[in-house]
Structure 1
């Protein structure tokens, strides 16, 4: 079941248009890449912008020299922060530029004020590095972590919310969740979880590494207190760029990773940007990445990504040996999907696809060794021919 397309500027199956977008990206893949969760290929306009600034970034001593005169040592600037705020639906004084999602995640998970005996609620679907940060802090500060176990396969918002209702208690001060569980494409009901957490006096922090540029949303509508994302995945920006949002009233409750050397006040979002010297050619190309996304349209991007996923998932779902771990009926849907195949190990199928068909997919495994499957996430640079060739190859086994 596809999402409504009548209000889109371009249909998700308009192959001539999407081939023209793919032509502006030209990823340098050595095989058919059907995994775009680690990084999305930057379009040529972004790559050219970075290339044009490499020599300048490496040779000039004075930051005041054009074109970096408006950029801080961290690479941030008021215009860049305003563009990010406008795109993602927040105020510019709630957005800090970071070098990646992990920097923003580590800032909040390490810096949110807690005391011994406090409790953090997270989920088994959190990224493993996020859980590592929380576990280190728990050991260091005598803090309790409670994991909400969510099913690997399809579920419902009501089921997810019920599990969080049971987990968030009077000692819970921080709730840490992913916006999208990338392996299966599950989108958590962030707005409902945030509302529940706030009612119970807890700070909600969202890992948005896989939702920024992937699905339509406005941070102000999510109701969360913190949100971190990178720009090199679904925004197709330069690697080494990202942002951190913290709700204005909560900024003073989070310590920065680096002490502010310029005396930024505790309530200033800019205290999170004083991280030392960065390679300014990367953040300087953020405007080109944002414009690239704006010209396509977020709703159009999401519809195309969902269309590519459903093109393979719908065909596999009709074969009894394949069990989808993704609900392809849920809107708006994502690029991400996963499945298991009866009678064959996921690693073996992935090896065959790469060795015999030159197609790359991902085998994932959660901490529970039984929670394993094959993940795909086609991106804007992929074509329907590549998707169909993958399905034809898989069905041979």
Structure 2
């Protein structure tokens, strides 16, 4: 493994580059499981985990040196490489453990007046919707929920549904970039533009976007944006970022107030001083982000561009296979998908079917209840280690289980 990683780092010629079969050994996923759920928690490659162990060893050899003298500069270096990857200035980024933490950070930092409206959609991730509800209840705010249809025919329907809910009381819009439940990629550039023109700040839950879609946060213009790095970038668990526009940074405070709150230093912004040290924890996941970016970008000759295109194409092909086998119409245009896709199944118990897929077929794939608890969407993810035969196997397994469900209903 070390020699394989070393070869990739040295940039050997195409003739000497590891084969796809060799590269697939860079993941420690259980070979007895057909793993089609990269979207939930990602899967960190072994070479990146080896780098994390290097950082942990350094941290434990001399903790005071690591935390007290070295860590600030190490975080700066990692943030510079992350900034180049997501199209932002390094000083506009803060490392956070996950996107849910970032959403909470922004919502709990802002001040609201009774009667203000918070706008979101019916497809917002449950954890983030809970954070929105908490703030609304605390300040006496109204949560307005735009009903984005699913199935859906075109991106304009997303824009129309959201814009129709904007009023002169709308203070903030919490929007997904890539929807967890439906896999939809929202037309974010257009949404941010139209909401900004109406004086509405935008808080974007981009949990799935980094590494799945090209990002240029500066050009996007969202007020606040968060993305997970343990998913499609494949960094270790506990690595995410929060982007805050420069003029809003004095308002945004970390959830944990620590030493930076009364620091007298003038060489760094208050935003930097507060977010870079909230207390003792393990920051090695953040320090591995540059290695994850480099490693995943080394898997294909075309780098990250080719990887994102390849994963998108595999997700589309996987959905076609499922739809054809199950005789189900695709619920959205292919252009509205990234590296995840969903297919609606007949109503039933989502967890029952999900459990059966794992217990009987050794397939790990989520069944999502949407929009009702009896409706079911099967969601597949596409990452470098996946291949078409896995999705064909899934389609056959679901067909068999649905046939059994149908037979049982006839005899009830």
**Matches for 1:75-154 after TM superposition, within 5 Å:** 77-154=75-152
Q: Tell me, yes or no, if the aligned pair for 1:76 and 1:273 is still in contact at 8 Å.
A: no
1:71 paired residue number: 71
Partner of 1:167: helix, strand, or coil? Answer: coil
Q: Tell me, yes or no, if the aligned pair for 1:34 and 1:359 is still in contact at 8 Å.
A: yes
Question: Following the alignment from structure 2 to structure 1, what is the Cα–Cα distance between the partners of residues 74 and 103?
Answer: 18
Deviations for 1:156-215, whole angstroms, at most 9, x for unmatched residues? 221111111111111111110110012322011111111111111111011111111111
Further displaced range: 365-374 or 225-234: 365-374
Question: Following the alignment from structure 1 to structure 2, what is the Cα–Cα distance between the partners of residues 182 and 323?
Answer: 20
Question: Following the alignment from structure 2 to structure 1, what is the Cα–Cα distance between the partners of residues 175 and 123?
Answer: 8
2:376 paired residue number: 372
Q: Tell me, yes or no, if the aligned pair for 1:246 and 1:269 is still in contact at 8 Å.
A: no
Question: Following the alignment from structure 2 to structure 1, what is the Cα–Cα distance between the partners of residues 370 and 284?
Answer: 37
Q: Tell me, yes or no, if the aligned pair for 2:75 and 2:286 is still in contact at 8 Å.
A: no
**Cα distance change of structure 1 residues 343 and 93 upon mapping to structure 2, 3 Å threshold:** closer
Normalising by structure 2, report the TM-score.
0.83
2:312 paired residue number: 306
Per the TM alignment, residue 307 of structure 1 is displaced from its structure 2 partner at its CA by 2.3
1:392 paired residue number: 396
**Cα distance change of structure 1 residues 272 and 310 upon mapping to structure 2, 3 Å threshold:** same
Question: Following the alignment from structure 2 to structure 1, what is the Cα–Cα distance between the partners of residues 71 and 330?
Answer: 47
Q: Tell me, yes or no, if the aligned pair for 1:184 and 1:326 is still in contact at 8 Å.
A: no
Question: Following the alignment from structure 2 to structure 1, what is the Cα–Cα distance between the partners of residues 283 and 356?
Answer: 42
Question: Following the alignment from structure 2 to structure 1, what is the Cα–Cα distance between the partners of residues 65 and 228?
Answer: 24
Further displaced range: 233-242 or 257-266: 257-266
Deviations for 1:84-130, whole angstroms, at most 9, x for unmatched residues? 11000001110111122222111112212322221110111111111
**Matches for 1:326-365 after TM superposition, within 5 Å:** 326-327=332-333, 329-330=334-335, 333-342=337-346, 346-365=350-369
Structural RMSD (CA): 2.6
Normalising by structure 1, report the TM-score.
0.86
- Could you say which structure has the larger radius of gyration? 2
2:321 paired residue number: 315
**Matches for 1:190-339 after TM superposition, within 5 Å:** 190-259=188-257, 261-262=259-260, 263=262, 268-270=270-272, 271-296=274-299, 297-319=303-325, 321-327=327-333, 329-330=334-335, 333-339=337-343
Q: Tell me, yes or no, if the aligned pair for 2:348 and 2:376 is still in contact at 8 Å.
A: no
Per the TM alignment, residue 385 of structure 1 is displaced from its structure 2 partner at its CA by 2.9
Partner of 2:39: helix, strand, or coil? Answer: coil
Partner of 2:227: helix, strand, or coil? Answer: strand
Question: Following the alignment from structure 1 to structure 2, what is the Cα–Cα distance between the partners of residues 253 and 160?
Answer: 30
**Cα distance change of structure 1 residues 319 and 393 upon mapping to structure 2, 3 Å threshold:** closer
Deviations for 1:263-311, whole angstroms, at most 9, x for unmatched residues? 3689643133332112133222222112113324222122221222222
Question: Following the alignment from structure 2 to structure 1, what is the Cα–Cα distance between the partners of residues 175 and 158?
Answer: 12
Structure of greater relative contact order (alpha carbons < 8 Å, 6+ residues apart): 1
**Cα distance change of structure 1 residues 126 and 49 upon mapping to structure 2, 3 Å threshold:** same
Further displaced range: 312-321 or 376-385: 312-321
Q: Tell me, yes or no, if the aligned pair for 1:323 and 1:341 is still in contact at 8 Å.
A: no
Higher helix proportion, which one? 2
**Cα distance change of structure 1 residues 343 and 273 upon mapping to structure 2, 3 Å threshold:** closer
Gaps of 5+ in 1: 1-15
**Cα distance change of structure 1 residues 355 and 279 upon mapping to structure 2, 3 Å threshold:** same
**Cα distance change of structure 1 residues 370 and 153 upon mapping to structure 2, 3 Å threshold:** farther
**Cα distance change of structure 1 residues 392 and 215 upon mapping to structure 2, 3 Å threshold:** same
Per the TM alignment, residue 76 of structure 1 is displaced from its structure 2 partner at its CA by 6.2
Q: Tell me, yes or no, if the aligned pair for 2:350 and 2:369 is still in contact at 8 Å.
A: no
**Cα distance change of structure 1 residues 57 and 192 upon mapping to structure 2, 3 Å threshold:** same
Q: Tell me, yes or no, if the aligned pair for 2:181 and 2:368 is still in contact at 8 Å.
A: yes
Deviations for 1:342-384, whole angstroms, at most 9, x for unmatched residues? 4865444434322322112211124633543221113222223
Aligned residues: 376
Gaps of 5+ in 2: 1-17, 404-412
